[in-house]
Every structure is written in structure tokens, then in C-alpha cells.
Chain A
Amino acid sequence: MVKFLKPNKAVIVLQGRFAGRKAVIVKNFDDGTRDRPYGHCLVAGISKYPKKVIRKDSAKKTAKKSRVKAFVKVVNYNHIMPTRYTLDVDLKDAITGDALESRDKKVTACKEIKARFEERFKTGKNRWFFSKLRF
């Protein structure tokens, strides 16, 4: 009775190349579009998780271990598993409407998302989102 597939919801991608990765919903298309006549959403997720940083690491090593690789994808609702977590990162201006049209636009969008994810990871919040899902 409560809509839970909203922007900023953390989800887990279940199918495809990024299966098992955590992502955050950026935009919903509940009723589908002409090209995709099913409920789907635009997600931004983590393709490569940041590695575990320990106190012994030098500053250079910490910087290298905290790197995140991001992806942008349009997924069917059937291929994601929503979770109870949210990630309050503003990604709407990073991903414009045409981000998925050409490859270089996608790459620039991913770079922007990567920067936002990395700065959020460095604050230490949303620890669940940046940890790898073990399965």
C-alpha cells in the first residue's frame, strides 16, 4: 500500500552483467514507455566495490583502495530486489535524460557518479551500500 520503488532507494541488481551489485534508483518509469512497455527504472550502481581500508595503509594506498567504479543502467523491475536501505545522493543532475544514448555520454555520466560515490564512501556513511554482497 506504500510505494517503495522511489528515487534514492537502494536495490540489488539480480540479472545481467551486474548481477549481485548494489545500485540506487535514480528515476522510475512505473508504467513503462513506448520502447519499454513494462515497469523499469534507471539505476546507478557500483561495478567495482572499494576495497577494505585498514589503519596501517599509507595515504597513497588508502586513495587507491577507496576507488569505486560505477555503472548506469535501465533495468526491469523484475530484475531488481529492493531493500530497506536508501542512499541520499543527488544523482539527478549527473544523469541527464540522454545519458544512455551514446557511449561517451554514458562514460561522462559514470565518471560523475563515481566521484559522488567516492566522496560519500570517504565520509563513512552508508556503509552497507559500499560493502560487497556475499553470495
Chain B
Amino acid sequence: MVSTKKTKKTHESINNRLALVMKSGKYTLGYKTVLRTLRSSKAKLIIIANNCPPLRKSEIEYYAMLAKVGVHHFNGNNVDLGTACGKYYRVCCLSIIDPGDSDIIKSMPGEQ
């Protein structure tokens, strides 16, 4: 009972941080641009939805391992991740280039 409450609170905090990044920071949405930012070493954090196809998920994680970038597995599917980004479309993976005012980079990999 206690653990579910804790995960709900941190889940909301991820959404809050993501909203702040959308407002004040730089990001890209979508698989192709995520790989592009990883290759050019511009990405600071990668967020992947939980219904991402496993091959694509492994590929993004491998690229992130090579680039030494953190990956966060979002607790929701691509519909939820799109909603969390404030968009009206599905987002399977996104890459944060510049967090702006948010502390998502400092707090997320620690919680991982």
C-alpha cells in the first residue's frame, strides 16, 4: 500500500518535470530524431514509453549506453507519454536536449 502511493507520487512528479521541460527547455519527439540527437551527442536524457517495441527499446538503450546518456522508462504507454508532453498525438520516445528550468536530468537518473 505504501509502495503504490510512493510510485504514484513520483509518477506525477515526472509528469510535472516533463511539463516544465516542454515549456522552458528543448526536446525532440520521435524515434528518428532521438537517434539523431544521440549520434550528435546533444541528448541529455531519453524517455521511452512502456509499450515501445522491444527491439526499438533495446536499440535506443544501446545507443544511449554508447553515448553515456540516461534512459528513463516512462510508466505509461505512448498515449500517456504524448499526453504528458501536452501533445495530441502518441509519443513513443523522446529526447531532452536542454532541460530549461527543470531538474529532470538531475533527479531522474538518481531514481533509476
Binding site for B on A (CB under 8 A): 1-5, 30, 39, 77-78, 81-82, 84
Tell me how many residue pairs across A and B have CB atoms closer than 8 Å.
30
CB distance from A22 to the nearest CB of B (A): 16
Can you list, as one digit per residue, whether each of B59-96 has a CB less than 8 Å from chain A (1) or not (0)? 10001011111000000000000000000000000000
Q: With A82-B63, A84-B66 in contact, is A2–B40 under 8 Å at CB?
A: no
Residues of B within 8 Å of A, CB-based: how many?
15
CA distance A30 to B36 in the complex (A): 11
Is B34 an interface residue when CB atoms closer than 8 A count as contact?
Answer: no
B-chain residues with CB within 8 Å of residue A4 when the two chains form the complex: 39, 41, 66-67
For chain A, what secondary structure do more than half of its interface residues adopt (helix, strand, loop), or is it mixed?
A: loop
CB distance from B37 to the nearest CB of A (A): 10
CA distance A4 to B36 in the complex (A): 12
CB distance from A28 to the nearest CB of B (A): 10
Sorted from nearest, which 3 A-B pairs have the closest CB atoms?
A4-B66, A2-B68, A3-B41
